[in-house]
Amino acid sequence: MGKYFYDVIIIGGGPAGVFCSIQLKQKRSELKICIVEKGKMLDKLRRSGGGRCNCTNLYAVVDNAKKYYPRGAEFLKHLFKGYDYKNFLNYLKENGIKTKIEESGKVFLYSNDANELVKHFINRINEDCIDIIDGECISILPTGFDEREILLVNTKKTKNEKYQKDEPNYKKFKIQVKTKENELVDLFSTDLVIATGGASNISNLLSYFEIELVKQVPSLFPFQIKEIAKFNLAGITVEKVIGYLEFNPEKKVNEAILFTKDGVSGPLILQLSAWNAYELFENNYSGILHVDFIPEVDEQTLYLNLTRDFHNTGKIIGNLNFLYPIPERLWGYLLKRSNINPAIKATGIDKSSIKDLVKLLKNCTFEISNKANHSEEFVHAGGVSLKELKYTCEFKKYPSLYAIGEALNIDGITGGFNLQASWTTAYSCACAIDKKYEDS
Ligand SMILES: Cc1cc2nc3c(=O)[nH]c(=O)nc-3n(C[C@H](O)[C@H](O)[C@H](O)COP(=O)(O)OP(=O)(O)OC[C@H]3O[C@@H](n4cnc5c(N)ncnc54)[C@H](O)[C@@H]3O)c2cc1C
């Protein structure tokens, strides 16, 4: 069994862990740092934004946090003061990585290739001599806190002497790693950063610590709707509809909806899944989705407009979708749900049928039957409770222990907000560790 000693160990080689290690090295090159990664380094980053990497968003700033982060907005507001999207764009610029801005403030890599950023980070890790340990961290023991195992470590620091002089001569954490070859390795460190992402088993890893964890549940997923699966609506998009879920009628979202072969997706649905992540989880992924297909006019005005338009045309009702931004197949579906025969002339439609159609256009309800099972959840809500942390991402109760990225109870809606939360928390943590050396 091997033993290795580090100044900082980071568990998790995702965007948060990697960015934290690079920021730390930039500030204090003499630190001995390692990243423990059980899978593929930066795997999610490689797949982010459909492979194009939506790396941040122009709205990821202090004043907007509440609007874009269903969980963690207050905490992020503090951290954004020190590092928001502008800082990350500067980092990319300084490193020769070009970006472009798309709709809703989304920032993508100019190359449309997430691998560009992955390669840049991997090069930096190599140049900065950050060790990578291929294996799974299976336990963390706080050696210094309970005096169970205070390790006297006589590590000889070459470049580091200046900063090590006054440091206590022991490592605070013992980390056990199972390598890919099934070997057990013990690592020891002064500072420890948990950057294990969303779907990780943090409660096991942190079982020696008394830390409040918020249940991790999926966020940002499409819905299955049995009724839609029976109709041929797949591929239809309606821009700028307003939708909400029954659990949370005040939380309305104005975005595009996309019909899939067995349900609905698109920005509207992904955002609603984020704002209602816990309600959906508690209700076993069932509930009622409400959609207003024509939000720009109220119900009364739409009724008057439809009555006038139907009256003024000799066409059959099935061909009238061009009057409103409703695609033909969806129009047919709505007529069917209103029990209106698409083959009759519009002039022949009675008032109560028009009223039914207006009701459906303004408040069309769909029964969610599940979350789409073919989709991979993009992020997880939940994780380390933010109550446990200082604004440096260090645990209040456990000095020198940090948590960053998706491991925290922070998640954003789609559009680059989640990666920005990783960059921001990673940066704050790196600054805090750096400051300790400065102060000592
Ligand atoms: C397909 C996809 C596309 C996405 N696209 C975007 C996008 O375009 N824009 C955006 O803002 N967000 C996007 N996201 C979300 C974004 O990728 C995540 O928010 C981000 O990756 C979180 O970074 P992280 O480092 O905290 O966690 P992760 O990226 O999850 O990294 C954590 C790492 O820790 C490792 N790990 C976990 N437990 C252990 C252990 N015990 N020992 C060792 N290693 C461990 C994991 O293997 C993993 O590599 C996307 C997510 C997915 C899945």
Same domain membership, residue 229 and residue 206: no
pLDDT at 311: 85
Q: Does residue 36 line the site of ligand 1, with CB under 6 A?
A: yes
Q: What is the mean pLDDT of residues 83-96?
A: 98
pLDDT at 151 over 50: no
Q: Which atom in ligand 1 lies closest to the alpha carbon of residue 136?
A: 42
Closest CA to 426 of 202, 193, 257: 193
Question: Tens digits of per-residue pLDDT, 250-282?
Answer: 999 999 999 999 999 999 999 999 999 999 999
- State the residue range of the domain holding 87: 2-218+377-439
Residue 376: which residues within 8 A CB-CB, separation 6 or more? none
CA distances from 361 to 306, 352, 364, 402 (A): 11, 14, 6, 50
Question: CA 193 to CA 213: how far, in whole Å?
Answer: 16
* pLDDT tier, 377 (very low <50, low <70, confident <90, very high otherwise): low
Backbone angles phi, psi at 290, to 5 degrees: -110, 130
- 110 alpha carbon to ligand 1 midpoint, in Å? 22
Task: Choose one of 378, 384, 402 to mutate for the ligand 1 pocket test, by most ligand atoms within 8 angstroms of C-beta.
Answer: 378
Quote the pLDDT of residue 168. 42
**pTM > 0.85: yes or no:** yes
- State whether 381 and 354 are in the same domain: no
DSSP 305-354: HHHHHHHT--SBGGGGGGGTT--HHHHHHHHHHTT--TTSBGGG--HHHH
**pLDDT tens digits, one per residue of 319-370:** 877 677 799 999 999 999 999 998 988 888 899 999 999 999 999 999 999 9
Question: Do residues 234 and 286 share a domain?
Answer: yes
Q: What percent of the chain has pLDDT over 70?
A: 92
What's the 184 CA to ligand 1 centre distance in angstroms?
25
Q: Let me know: does 435 contact 91? Beta carbons within 8 Å.
A: no
Q: Is 382 in the pocket of ligand 1 (CB under 6 A)?
A: no
Domain termination residue (choose one: 371, 399, 430)? 371
Q: Are residues 405 and 349 in the same domain?
A: no
- Is the beta carbon of 200 within 6 A of some atom in ligand 1? yes
pLDDT band at 373 (very low <50, low <70, confident <90, very high): confident
Residues 110 and 190 in one domain: yes
Answer whether residue 398 shows pLDDT above 80: yes
The response to whether residue 371 sits with its C-beta less than 6 Å from ligand 1 reads: no
Protein residue whose Cα sits closest to atom 35 of ligand 1: 12
Do 389 and 405 sit in the same domain of this protein? yes
Instruction: Tell me what the pLDDT averaged over the chain comes to.
Output: 90
| pLDDT at residue number 316 | 85
